[in-house]
Amino acid sequence: MTQTMARSEVRVLIIDDHALFAESMELALSLEGYDVRRLPQPQTAGSLNGLLAAAIRTRPRIVLLDLDLGEHNDGTRLIAPLATAGAQVVVVTGSADRSRWGECLRYGARKAMPKTMALNDVLSVVRRINQGLPVMDRTEREELLRLWHDQRQEREAMVARLMLLTKREQEVLVHLMKGRQVREIAALSVVSEATVRTQVKSILAKLEVSSQLAAVGLANRVGWHAVSRLSA
Give yes or no: residues 88 and 125 share one domain: yes
Evaluate whether residue 228 is within a structural domain.
Answer: no
Evaluate whether residue 140 is within a structural domain.
Answer: yes
Residue of 24, 6, 9 lying closest to 64 (CA atoms): 24
**Rounded CA Rg of the chain:** 23
Give yes or no: residues 129 and 27 share one domain: yes
**pTM of the complete model:** 0.76
CA-CA-CA-CA torsion for 170, 175, 177, 183, nearest 10 degrees?
Answer: -130
Of 101, 116, 149, the one marking the end of a domain is 149
Evaluate whether residue 231 is within a structural domain.
Answer: no
Give yes or no: residues 145 and 168 share one domain: no
**CATH classification at residue 15:** 3.40.50.2300
Give yes or no: residues 195 and 123 share one domain: no
Of 90, 116, 149, the one marking the end of a domain is 149
Give yes or no: residues 105 and 204 share one domain: no
pLDDT tens track for 205-221: 999 999 999 999 999 98
pLDDT at 161: 96
Give yes or no: residues 126 and 201 share one domain: no
Evaluate whether residue 230 is within a structural domain.
Answer: no
Give yes or no: residues 81 and 174 share one domain: no
Alpha-carbon gap, residue 124 to 18, rounded angstroms:
21
Alpha-carbon gap, residue 166 to 199, rounded angstroms:
10
Domain span at residue 203 reads 163-221
Residues 31-38: what's their mean pLDDT? 95
pLDDT tens track for 63-82: 999 998 876 578 999 999 99
For strand 62-65 and strand 111-114, is the pairing parallel, antiparallel, or unpaired? Answer: unpaired
Give yes or no: residues 185 and 135 share one domain: no
pLDDT at 208: 95
Q: Domain count for the chain, please give it.
A: 2
| Residue of 20 and 227 predicted with greater confidence | 20
Evaluate whether residue 88 is within a structural domain.
Answer: yes
Residues 111-115: what's their mean pLDDT? 95
pLDDT of residue 97 exceeding 70, the answer is yes
User: Helices (H) and strands (E) in the chain — how many of each?
Assistant: 10, 5
Of 127, 149, 171, the one marking the end of a domain is 149
Alpha-carbon gap, residue 119 to 125, rounded angstroms:
10
pLDDT at 98: 94
Evaluate whether residue 123 is within a structural domain.
Answer: yes
Residues 74-96: what's their mean pLDDT? 95
Give yes or no: residues 15 and 97 share one domain: yes
Give yes or no: residues 95 and 180 share one domain: no
DSSP codes joined into one string, 12-72? EEEE-S-HHHHHHHHHHHHHTT-EEEEPPPPSSTT-HHHHHHHHHHT--SEEEE-SB-STT
Alpha-carbon gap, residue 73 to 126, rounded angstroms:
25
pLDDT at 156: 94
pLDDT of residue 6 exceeding 80, the answer is yes
Query: Cβ(145)–Cβ(154) under 8 Å?
Result: no
Determine what percent of the chain is predicted with pLDDT higher than 70: 92
Give yes or no: residues 133 and 171 share one domain: no
Give yes or no: residues 47 and 134 share one domain: yes
Q: 155: helix, coil or strand?
A: helix
**CATH classification at residue 195:** 1.10.10.10
pLDDT at 92: 96
How many alpha carbons fall within 13 Å on the CB side of residue 108? 18
